[in-house]
Structure 1
Amino acid sequence: MSRILIVEDEPRIASFLEKGLKAHGFVTTHTETGESGIAAALEGEFDLVILDLGLPDRDGMTVLEALRGQGFARPIILLTARDDLYDKVTGLEAGADDYVTKPFRFEELLARIRARLRSVQAVPDPAKTTLNVGAVVLDLISRQVQVGGQGVELSAREFILTETFMRHAGQVLSREQLLDLAWGYGYDPGSNIVDVYVGYLRKKLGSHCIETVRGMGYRMVLPEAIDIATAS
């Protein structure tokens, strides 16, 4: 499940992108400024960034240059109303992987996103193919999970939920966030499906691996706090 960061200050466009991408199985995060976009990209584990050039606090080109200058190597697609050839060339030479002008058709943008993701996945980076939190190791390529060195069988949905928790280890996630991230936009917010699946994961990954934060949601415990013995 690929994670996409959207750096876009126009709420209508950002909402349109998030709904469309979630409907096609992507996990999205949205920021509205260049500074918050840089921080999110460098701190998170995103597979691709959609970057608007007309941001309120700084020009998107400087955001692009800052990300590339600080070692961010994932694909970046520029999304902008600027259709001048000079801007396109400047953006691509500054490190952008693609350039899409507004107005745009979502189908075209989706095709470009998939193409960029395929190009990255064709030569996988071994350092980025596994997630580790305490005794839990998740292989994103083979789709296998180990707990304390022992293989654990997870359903497709359990795997997605485990990946979601591991990518946000130590962070409290509300039931609504988990529904959004692991089930997608439009799932019944009144469902207790999150609680049911958290119960499944506790049985398979360890009872202390995921803790309940009363009144807020759930959190995957950081490595130093996990009781490995209970996860074997």
Structure 2
Amino acid sequence: MPMSRSRFEKFKQVLRQRQHDMTVVTDQVHKAQNISAMIRTADAVGIPEVHMVKPVRGHLVYHNTAGGSGRFVSTRVHPDIQTALDTVRGKGMRLLAAAWSDNAVSYRDMDYTQPFALVMGAEKYGLSETAMEAADAHLTIPMIGMVESYNVSVAAAIILQEAMHQRMRSGHYDLPDPTDAASRKQLFRWAQPKMAAYCDRHNLPYPDLDEDGDLIPPEDPAYRGAL
């Protein structure tokens, strides 16, 4: 099926507005519905990659379906929380942990225009001691009801919406079209997922696309199996 011009332009807009200095780290979150909801939120606010830590108890259950948000947000699974935190710190991100402590501040009082990773704890046990101690700040969401906390995916969505609001006001989403090779490859994967998979499987370079995102058929016979 040919790619529509409007859908291809939407792909380019989404790619242009991706916030590469903003991410989420899940500290042993394991329920599929919570992980899927956080990935959906990540896509909605422009986060290109989510970091997940394998749970000590139970299993990390997540099915990355091509038709959902998982197609547009990459996921990276780490063996432990320290590895995950070191990875995002290595990218220059502050660690903002959603957790109560004596030094915790309201999530609205935090500056999200600087590079950061939002660290979310497991459903039953919350954040690990390692994550609590490593965090640069602890964030809380004011509540007035009987419940003591929001669902982990709901809490992440509330905080990330505030982050997007601040970044929109500061012009973080007003970006030019990316021209680097990695972005061009990502655009091709979104526009032509089957051809991208074929090229990756056979170690072939991605062919060119026209202005509508449709494939310009390559003459090389190596591509015939996918045409």
Please give the TM-score of this superposition, normalised by the length of structure 1: 0.37
Please give the TM-score of this superposition, normalised by the length of structure 2: 0.38
